[in-house]
Chains A and B, each alone.
Chain A
């Protein structure tokens, strides 16, 4: 026993020592191959991370100085209670939802996501689906991302005003944030319309941000969408009417507790 065991023990210990030592470097190059670090030493040496510090160093690749429809009311303190979050919207949620799920997981929230492909404010308003999902999941915070499929609707103010109002009426007293569409061309007024109805501290205007887009030229890539969500969260901590605890997650993405998918209307 002893001979074999000490031999095995020595192998495990020597290998551990090797990985500990090499992990103090970022990476090691052997010829043309770059060996990644196991991160062990860093994990041991890193200073304790506080909530405030965890925000530092996250740089979004988004630029633009656009109107964000914000409130600058310092009285809005962060609600640190765990929330049941409902995230509804169009296909843009494919990129946003995994990142928001990571935030939810990190901060003890529960996220339900409903993706309705090709949906618009009119479709959601006519179907009154939001009410159904509020009954079903009983959320105490709602995120919406809608508007990308109605960027170019003519005479939008008269056609969609009532739809956006209806959606906000369905939300009722539940705190919410509406994430505006990631314009790839100037819109005919959807951003202004939603912002007017949502009110201060509820609308994050994405128009003016720079995205890496998928091949369709419209949807941000998953990586870019994650940075988009990061921007929304940073904005929320400073300007949202009802900021909630959304510390930067240690993982890039996660799975919502449940994802419901609705097919496009024919």
Chain B
């Protein structure tokens, strides 16, 4: 009994190596305990808010330790400034509050995320001898910082009324399904839902359950399995043949989609069970036939945030053609830097910016080309090749590694490696095929299966759930890999 108690204690304590993620057994157990209490408190709004905020803070504590206090501090500053802002009459005073809030939020983000990046670059420029600071990046800080900025800007612009109570704002900022890896929740979309306090009906709950299952399959089954091979390729860029490197690159392209969209599906599903709607974050991005379409389908909550709070304030497309391209480029550059404090992310964002600008510039010509299937096939292929190649820079440890992998694909490619690869890595190929099938079939088919699942008897749901979990266990690698987007 002592052992069980000791192990439960250690499981519930903060462990930097084991952040709590939706696909872990621990979250499953805690969610079973959470649900009945939530249901009882649902109609008592204040108590429900306090309970969910406490659970969210514990969730954050499990991932980032005492940094949950930072989240509390940020929320207090933002909320306090938003209250002061609405009580101010003059515009410059309101603008001062807005600036103060944004500066505080960005300063915290910059310190934790970019201080060492700045020091490294400063070191290189002046050949200095600074030691990097011993900084731990709090999980999800980039996500909740963007949420807090959108809140204060929306309050300033009068799009949303500031919450009267701090607990409402804290609920919005710390809502655990979206806390550590999005989707980035917007105040004007989410705060009215808190006011409404909608109770989910049975069909919504089971649709949420269905989304969780889809997310588990994408993240815990497919992404975690195929990542084992991809990691080998990226760890030794010249250690494998060109064909194997190519498979690694395609594998990572699929892995990051399954990993991140799987997380989003789970987050949206959990929120739906609780009676809240989070916006769609992915819409089959690899079906895109150009880069503009890709960014309308990939990480939608981030790209729409960047559009509304960076691109449009920069002038959007209102200041001439050249300025539109520059604004596009700058927005993507910031998007790249948001993903991580390294030049590779800046490059990745910049190249997407260049791609978007080129597509916009060519749009008048491209519109004249007839929309027939060979053209669509070429457009889709060009988009996929561009996106996949840029993922190499996103994933590889260094510039050199990125170039080596790409070079290896073109200089060390031999069809002789294909057959042995198929023989040895057929399970990996099977997983990849599964993604391609999921991505290729019309979405109404998948929705149709989902609707069937929602209507099915409870025993069918139980069997499906147990089967999915058991399949994950069968393929589980030795450690549960955290979500890729945790690091952002």
Q: Do these two chains really belong together in a complex? A: yes
Which A residues fall within an 8 A CB radius of B? 1-16, 18-19, 35-38, 40, 43-48, 91, 94, 98, 105, 115, 117, 138, 250-252, 255, 258-261, 263
Closest A-chain residue to B7, C-beta based? A44
19 contacts between A and B (CB under 8 A): A4-B202, A4-B205, A5-B36, A5-B200, A6-B36, A7-B202, A8-B205, A9-B32, A12-B28, A15-B469, A19-B25, A35-B470, A45-B4, A46-B3, A47-B3, A98-B235, A117-B238, A138-B131, A255-B231
CA distance A258 to B397 in the complex (A): 7
Q: Is B273 an interface residue (CB 8 A)?
A: yes
User: Which B residues are in CB contact (< 8 Å) with A263?
Assistant: 238
State the CA gap A251–B477 with chains docked (Å): 10
Residue-by-residue, is B236-258 near A (CB-CB < 8 Å gives 1, otherwise 0)?
Answer: 11110000000000000000000
Residue B466 lies at the interface, judged by CB distance under 8 Å to chain A: yes
B interface residues with partner A (beta carbon < 8 Å):
3-4, 6-8, 11, 17, 25, 28-29, 31-32, 35-36, 39, 42, 131, 199-206, 209, 231, 235-239, 273, 275, 397-398, 400-401, 404, 458, 461-462, 465-466, 469-470, 473-474, 476, 478-479
Q: Which secondary structure dominates where chain B touches chain A? A: helix
A18 to B462, CA, bound (A): 11
Residues of B near A43 (CB, < 8 A) are 7, 11, 25
Cβ 8 A contact of A44, one of B8, B131, B275, B458 = B8
Contact B466 A18 (CB under 8 A): yes
Q: Which of A13, A105, A251, A259 has a CB less than 8 Å from the CB of B32?
A: A13
In the bound complex, how far is the Cα of B363 from the Cα of A63, in angstroms?
68
Q: How far is the CB of B450 from chain A (nearest CB, A)?
A: 15
Q: A4-B201, A94-B236 are in contact. Are A9 and B35 (CB under 8 A)?
A: yes
The answer to whether B239 touches A94 (Cβ under 8 A) is yes
Cα distance A28–B166 in the bound complex, in angstroms: 52
Contact yes or no, B462 A48, CB < 8 A: no
| Besides A15-B469, A44-B7, 16 other A-B contacts (C-beta < 8 A) | A1-B200, A2-B39, A4-B206, A8-B205, A8-B273, A9-B36, A12-B28, A14-B462, A19-B466, A37-B473, A94-B236, A250-B17, A259-B397, A261-B236, A261-B400, A263-B238
Tell me how far the C-beta of B4 lies from the nearest C-beta in chain A, rounded to whole angstroms. 5
Contact present for A261 and B458 (CB under 8 Å): no
Residues of B within 8 A of A259 (CB): 235-236, 397, 401
A91 to B31, CA, bound (A): 47
One of B8, B205, B401, B462 near A261 (C-beta < 8 A): B401
Tell me the smallest distance from the CB of A139 to a CB of chain B, in Å: 13
Q: Given A94-B236, A261-B237, are A11 and B231 neighbors across the interface (CB < 8 Å)? A: no
The residue among A5, A105, A117 with the most chain B CB atoms within 10 A of its own CB is A5
Q: Is the CB of A261 within 8 A of B404?
A: yes
In the bound assembly, the distance between CA atoms of A261 and B39 in angstroms comes to 55
Contact A44 B4, beta carbon cutoff 8 Å: yes
4 closest Cβ pairs, A-B complex = A4-B202, A1-B199, A4-B205, A251-B479
Distance between B126 CB and nearest chain A CB, rounded to angstroms? 16
Report Cα–Cα, A36/B470, bound state, in Å: 8
Q: Which of A15, A35, A138, A252 contacts B474 (CB 8 A)?
A: A35
Residues of B within 8 A of A255 (CB): 231, 235
